[in-house]
Amino acid sequence: MVFTDTNLKLYYAEVNKILKSITILSGLAFLFFLLLSVRMLIQTPFVTKEGFSKVEEREFHYALFLPVTNQSFFQRLREGALDAAAAKNCAVTFHSIYEDPDSLSMVQYSGFNGIGLYLYENDKKTMDLLKTIQDKGIPIVQIESEIIQGPATFLIGTNNFNVGKGIGKLALQTGFDSLNMVLVYSRKNPGVYSDATLIEMGIKNVLKEKLSMLRREATSLNPLDAERIVYDILKNDPSVDVLVLTDPNDTLVAVQAIIDLNLVGKVQIIGFGDQELIKTYIDKGLILGSIVRNPYRIGYSAVMALYELSTNSYTSSFVDTGITLLRRDRQ
Amino acid sequence: MKNSLSSRLLVYLVISMLIILFSMGVVLVISLKLQEVADRRFKDEQYFQQLQNQLTELQSPLNTYLTSYSSSALSKLLFISETLHESIPENRPITSRNSDLIKREIYFLIDAYLDRLSEVIEQKRGRKVQQYVQNYDDLLTMYSYINREINTVSLLGFRVQLEVYRNFLDFFRKLQLYGLLQIILATALSFSLLMRLVGTFAGPMAQLSALAGKLSAGEFSIPDIHLSSVNEVNQVAEAFNQMKHNIHRYIEELQEKKEFERQVMEEKVRNLRMEQVLKRMELYTMQAQMNPHFLFNTLNTGVQLAIVEDADKTAEFMEKLAALFRYNIKDKQFFVPLQHELMGLEIYFSILKIRFPKTLRLVLDIEEEIADQYDCPAMVLQPLVENSVLHAFKRKEGKGTVQVSVSYEEPVLVLSVRDDGQGIPPEIVRALLTPHTHDYSISSHVMGLENVIQRCYFFYPEQKDVISINSELGRGTEIVIRINTEVEPCIKL
């Protein structure tokens, strides 16, 4: 290639421009990635001594003892408890009484500032343990069911008499002159089962003479147990026209059984919970209505009560977290 | 020295090396740091594993002591319990992290376990059998629970660490990628810097090379090259400019010398030609004088013979003819006074009157006052009159007239010879008036009119109208010589 003087200047000017661009671009990109690496290194949780997330120090440590922790009711309860703990700068841990029965006996050694208990069995061992815990000065807040009673006991949860009244109100919607009702309690919702008497009082209070029959049944922790019980009830006693379920899962299973037995409309179901499927069934007329407690508020109130006990040494002896009735005409 | 090639090369190399070393160093430091971090992440798990081992180690000496009062078992028990007690932290902050809360529980439980252990030892010493048996059961329950809690926290920790480790690997991979990119970019940066350095002298050198090519082709008008490169190249450019100027100057001097020599040579040639012309003219004049001398002598002899024979008219004619010859050979100057030229013309007129007494009329119209004031080329009027006499009236019947007029039209001296003869054809006029710009050589044939014309051109080369011919066929011819008295003839002898 033959270059003239002008061409040469242009050629080398062009080459120089390209090289200058490469220098600037590679320099900037190098700096960019260098700064990015340094920034990543500074910001990464791996480099901090404390760990991968910022750890906030809390003032009190509470433990909530629940029957199970993986059901939606208790999950919502946990969320409420955690939000309250975060709001009050406390820490809360959850323990399953069923999965680890020793956990309650270790409360006295574990350094908790207070515990919340969701119990429904008042056996001697449990009562002794609770007394020991109380003697150690660890505040106890009972959730949903009041096993131990006394001046220093506190209850957070639904007033089950009101639950019974709610069931009665829903039962009135059937329009039946005479109601043959079966109450199917659930081990999955022990707080209701432990207050069965109170609930039934509430029902009777509303239905009065219309209530011809009120029977009590109970499902196990097996999620499909309700189906078996519903089949048994309806086959053995065709006069039953209202079934009351006290667990969301049992409610859904019972609806399926009614459909299978082709008794839709003839046997009315009063359920528990506010799952989307339950709402759908209410809209379709498969479920008469549903009792909805407020687990989030229960969990939240439990921790708030414990916090008040830690800071003020007193709290309300009973906090009613209320219920909601879900009906077809809820809009 | 700062701008020298070697120093710039050194600086660029050092910068490039530093950039690459720095980027590699960053990658290395990051890798080491992350290894350290990864190692630290598992220290907690190792610590709880150690606590669990110590608790397990306690069981055997506890059993031995409770069953056999073994002092060695007791000392071992006390040693392990003390070690365990010291290994758990006093500060147990409550945090939002679940694993920390479980750990906190474990510390409290171990505290309680060790307290209960002390009680059991004391009760054993005090032989309080029922109490230490009951407490031993509690210890077993607590041991079992603590173990479960440690397993829980380990499992939780492991799960968390597994997630963390996965994130850590992602993070590390990203950092490695950035590190690799940094090395590649640093290499590109260094390469571009080096190439720019090379460009700072490669470009100018190529320019110099191109200009040197032009210079070698003789193109000296190229502008000076001014470079801003390294010192070495700048110096070469300056030297190049100096060399270009020097060569240019030498070439110009050579050209000037050559031009001068050419001019000298041309002058010499011109002088030689002039000299040749002069010599030829001199030869012509001499030749022209040779015959008149012979004829003059012969004519004098004839005059004497005519006088002896009493032929008066013949004697007169020949005397005039002799006088004319005398006039013609009197001197050999190129320019003569106008008076002198007119005297010769009058002698010639008298001869012509004797020759053509009836057929020729001669008129001489001269302003007398100017005859003594100006010079004119010698022998110009007589050949013009002779030309008219010989050629103008060849076919003319009757009397022909030749009129010679001399006048002065400031600053031009006008000499005119006019006849009323047959005229000259235009092509001949053009041929006659063509100056012989080539080597002017006077041949023996060039006589009369052409001689006069070419001499006029010779004496006044810059005046194209020094001589003119106005001729009309059948009506006559006028030949006019216009001598600018303010212009010196090119030669005057």
Topology of domain B351-493 in CATH is: Heat Shock Protein 90 (3.30.565)
Give the three-state DSSP class for A329: coil
User: Which homologous superfamily does the CATH classification assign to the domain defined by A60-158+296-322?
Assistant: Response regulator (3.40.50.2300)
Write out residues 174-233 of B within 8 Å (CB-CB) of A.
Answer: 174-175, 178-179, 181-182, 185-186, 188-189, 192-193, 195-196, 199, 202-203, 206-207, 210-211, 214, 222
Beta bridge partners of B220: none
pLDDT score at B184: 87
For A143-202, write each residue's pLDDT tens digit.
887 777 777 778 888 888 999 999 999 999 988 889 999 999 987 777 777 778 889 999
pLDDT score at B2: 63
**Partner-chain contact B196 A16, CB within 8 Å:** yes
Consecutive H or E run containing A135:
helix A124-135
Q: How far apart are CA A306 and CA A92, in angstroms?
A: 11
Q: What is the DSSP letter of B6?
A: H
Q: Is B95 on the interface with A (CB under 8 A)?
A: yes
Q: How far apart are CA A263 and CA A286, in angstroms?
A: 10
Q: Is B398 on the interface with A (CB under 8 A)?
A: no
Q: What angle do CA A107, A110, B51 make, to 5 degrees?
A: 135
For A271-308, write each residue's pLDDT tens digit.
998 888 999 999 999 999 999 988 899 999 999 999 99
Helix axes A225-236, A248-260, angle to 10 degrees: 50
Taking residues A194-213, what's their average pLDDT? 90
**Partner-chain contact A106 B109, CB within 8 Å:** yes
Q: How far apart are CA A46 and CA A26, in angstroms?
A: 30
Alpha-carbon distance B61 to nearest alpha carbon in chain A (angstroms): 24
Helices (H), B126-230: 129-216
pLDDT score at B230: 78
**Residue of A30, A59, A109 lying closest to B94 (CB–CB):** A59
pLDDT score at A69: 60
Q: How far apart are CA A103 and CA A114, in angstroms?
A: 14
Contact (Cβ atoms closer than 8 angstroms) between residue A243 and residue A254: yes
Beta bridge partners of B94: A58
Q: How far apart are CA B482 and CA B468, in angstroms?
A: 8
Bridge-based pairing of strands B476-484 and B412-419 is antiparallel
Q: How far apart are CA A258 and CA A271, in angstroms?
A: 13
Contact (Cβ atoms closer than 8 angstroms) between residue A112 and residue A77: no
Consecutive H or E run containing A156:
strand A154-157
Write down the residue that tokens 């049992």 correspond to: A250
Write down the residue that tokens 């008040």 correspond to: A308
CA B174 → CA A33, A36, A40, B296, distances in Å? Answer: 11, 10, 9, 134
Residues from chain A that touch B195, judged by Cβ atoms under 8 A, are: 19
Domain ranges in chain A are 1-55, 60-158+296-322, 160-293
Give the three-state DSSP class for A234: helix
> B322: exposed, middle or buried (C-beta count within 10 Å: 0-12, 13-18, 19+)?
buried
The closest of A294, A317, A315 to A191, measured between CA atoms, is A294
Consecutive H or E run containing B11:
helix B5-41
Instruction: State whether the Cα torsion A141-A142-A148-A149 is positive or negative.
Output: positive
> B348: exposed, middle or buried (C-beta count within 10 Å: 0-12, 13-18, 19+)?
buried
pLDDT score at B438: 44
Alpha-carbon distance A26 to nearest alpha carbon in chain B (angstroms): 5
pLDDT score at B282: 63
Write out residues 351-380 of B within 8 Å (CB-CB) of A.
Answer: none
Alpha-carbon distance B79 to nearest alpha carbon in chain A (angstroms): 23
At CB < 8 A and 24+ separation, what contacts does A151-155 make? Answer: A153/A317, A154/A305, A154/A309, A154/A315, A154/A316, A154/A317, A154/A318, A154/A319, A155/A317, A155/A318, A155/A319
> B213: exposed, middle or buried (C-beta count within 10 Å: 0-12, 13-18, 19+)?
middle
Contact (Cβ atoms closer than 8 angstroms) between residue B471 and residue B424: yes
Domain ranges in chain B are 5-207, 351-493
**Residue of A8, A33, A56 lying closest to B206 (CB–CB):** A8
Q: What angle do CA B215, B220, B222 make, to 5 degrees?
A: 85
Bridge-based pairing of strands A268-272 and A114-117 is unpaired
Q: Is A23 on the interface with B (CB under 8 A)?
A: yes
pLDDT score at B332: 63
Q: Is A2 on the interface with B (CB under 8 A)?
A: no
Residues 6+ apart with CB under 8 A from B13: B194
The closest of B432, B457, B459, B460 to B446, measured between CA atoms, is B432
Q: Count CB atoms within 10 A of the CB of residue B318.
A: 23
Tell whether omega for the bond before B411 is within 30 degrees of 0, i.e. cis.
yes
CATH of domain B5-207: 1.20.1440.210
Question: What are the average pLDDT values for consecutive 10-residue runs of chain B, which has 493 residues?
Answer: 75 82 78 72 81 92 88 91 91 87 92 92 87 89 92 81 77 83 85 82 80 82 81 85 89 92 91 76 59 68 77 81 75 80 88 85 88 87 88 85 92 93 90 67 54 85 89 92 88 64
Helix axes B43-68, B98-125, angle to 10 degrees: 20
Q: Is A178 on the interface with B (CB under 8 A)?
A: no
Residue of chain A nearest B42, judged by CA positions: A51
Bridge-based pairing of strands B375-377 and B335-337 is antiparallel
Q: How far apart are CA B343 and CA B379, in angstroms?
A: 11
Strand positions, DSSP E, B367-411: 375-377, 400-409
Contact (Cβ atoms closer than 8 angstroms) between residue A196 and residue A216: yes
Instruction: State whether the Cα torsion B431-B434-B437-B441 is positive or negative.
Output: positive
CA B381 → CA A168, B331, B345, B370, distances in Å? Answer: 169, 17, 7, 16
**Tokens for B237?**
């450019």
CA A29 to chain centroid: 51
Beta bridge partners of A173: none
Topology of domain A160-293 in CATH is: Rossmann fold (3.40.50)
CA B122 to chain centroid: 111
Bridge-based pairing of strands B335-337 and A140-143 is unpaired
